[in-house]
Amino acid sequence: GGSIQVTVGTADTAAGGIVTVTAGVSSADQGGYIYATGGSSSASHGGQVLVTGGAVTSTVVGSFGGHVSVSGGANSAHTGGFMSLVTGAGTAKSSGSFVIKTADSGANGVSGALTFSSGVASAKSSGEILMGTGTSTGGKGGSIQVTVGTADTAAGGIVTVTAGVSSADQGGYIYATGG
């Protein structure tokens, strides 16, 4: 099919051009949507949607590749917007996999960190982090495996599980239960 390409100008002494796509504002109902959808296919793979931060070739100390930031909308009176990342369903076979991974490091660095954290609450309970595998009606239940890295010249990685501290009530529990 035909292509659509949107390109802004390059620069050699200042920042490159910016592309801004903004949905419509509404004072009476919800704001407009922005859809980015890969093309469907009846013969091969569906089209991909790729969002990539800009590469950097500078050797200046402190320079870094471009960030990719996706945020739900703020709400000054009620709950903020949520974020949902869901893999594709397989109506006849497996659903799509979900991979969260930092890139491997170069020769003189460390690989990037992964941080999973709920927000701080000033008046009520802070958010939970829930991890679980799906149930199975015809096979094994899914597993959860937590593994730290091995090392050949220093100590291996550490696994630390700590329950929450409380200054007003009992501390948090840690439960480990077999099936």
Instruction: Summarize pLDDT for 56-87 with one digit per residue, the tens.
Output: 888 888 888 888 888 888 888 888 888 898 89
pLDDT reported for residue 138? 85
Among the listed residues 83, 84, 87, the one whose alpha carbon sits nearest the alpha carbon of residue 98: 87
- The mean per-residue pLDDT over the stretch 27-44 comes to 88
pLDDT reported for residue 147? 92
Query: The tokens of 133 are what?
Result: 């595998």
pLDDT reported for residue 160? 92
Tell me: pLDDT of 1 over 80.
no
pLDDT confidence band for 91 (50 / 70 / 90): confident
Q: How far apart are CA 108 and CA 124, in angstroms?
A: 44
- Mean of all residue pLDDT scores within the chain: 88
- The mean per-residue pLDDT over the stretch 107-132 comes to 88
pLDDT reported for residue 56? 85
Cβ count near 78 (within 10 Å): 5
Instruction: Summarize pLDDT for 160-174 with one digit per residue, the tens.
Output: 999 999 888 898 999
- The mean per-residue pLDDT over the stretch 132-145 comes to 88
pTM for the whole thing? 0.67
pLDDT reported for residue 24? 92
Tell me: pLDDT of 2 over 80.
no
Q: Rg of the chain's alpha carbons, rounded to an integer?
A: 23
